[in-house]
Amino acid sequence: MATTVYLSNPALTINSVDLTDQATSAVLTYNYEQLETTAFGDTARKFGGSAVTSLQNNSFEVTLYQSYAATETEATIYGLVGIQTTIEVSPTAAGLATPSATSPKFSLVGCYLESHTPINASLGELSTITLTFTGGTLTKAVS
C-alpha cells in the first residue's frame, strides 16, 4: 500500500534565520531542465540520458506572516532582495538540526530572491507575503 508523507509542519530557515513560526506554506520544487535527445531513427521523443546532464532549475515558494517587529519577517527579508542566499527546509524541526532518512534536510544554496512585497495589506486580514526563491543547487541530507 502506498504511503504519503504530508508536510504539514515543516521547519525552515531563510538566510540562516528560523522563520518557521511565521510560515504557513512552503513548496520546494526540485527540477532538472528537460533536454531533448531525440535523433534520426528514433520513433518517439527522448529526453535526457546517461551521457546528458542538464541544469538544475529549482525553486522554493514560501508564505510568511508579515511582521515589522525587530528581527522578524520584514527585517529578515528586505535585505535579501536581489542577492543570493541559502534556504534550509525539513519535514520536521528536528530534521533541521539532525537530518535522518525519515526527516531529511533540503538545502537550496545560492538561490535568488527577485522580489518582495513589503506592504501587502487588506482590511480585516493578517498581512502575509509570498516569496519565490529561484535557482541554486539543491542537496538532500539524511544524516
Partner 1 sequence: MTSYMVTSDRFAGFKRGDTVTDKDLEGVDVEALVEGGHLSTQSAKKSGKTKDTDTDKD
Q: Does 96 bind partner 1 (CB under 8 A)?
A: yes
Q: Does 97 bind partner 1 (CB under 8 A)?
A: yes
Answer for which of 56, 57, 63, 86 binds partner 1 (CB under 8 A) is 86
DSSP 18: E
Nearer to partner 1, 48 or 134 (CB): 134
Q: Does 79 bind partner 1 (CB under 8 A)?
A: yes
Q: Does 26 bind partner 1 (CB under 8 A)?
A: no
Q: Does 131 bind partner 1 (CB under 8 A)?
A: no
In the complex, the smallest distance separating the C-beta of residue 7 from partner 1, rounded to whole angstroms, is 19
H or E element at residue 64: strand 59-65
Four-CA torsion 20, 21, 24, 30, nearest 10 degrees: 0
C-alpha cell at 26: 512552503
Binders of partner 1: how many residues, by CB under 8 A? 22
Answer for which of 58, 76, 92, 103 binds partner 1 (CB under 8 A) is 76
Answer for which of 110, 127, 134, 141 binds partner 1 (CB under 8 A) is 110
Cα 59 to Cα 130: distance, rounded to the nearest angstrom: 13
DSSP 43: S
Q: SS3 of 49, please?
A: coil
Answer for which of 53, 78, 94, 117 binds partner 1 (CB under 8 A) is 78
Cα 26 to Cα 31: distance, rounded to the nearest angstrom: 16
CA distances to 19, 66, 68, 76 from 71, in Å:
10, 12, 8, 6
* Contacting residues toward partner 1, per CB under 8 A: 13, 15-19, 70-71, 75-76, 78-80, 83-86, 88, 96-97, 109-110
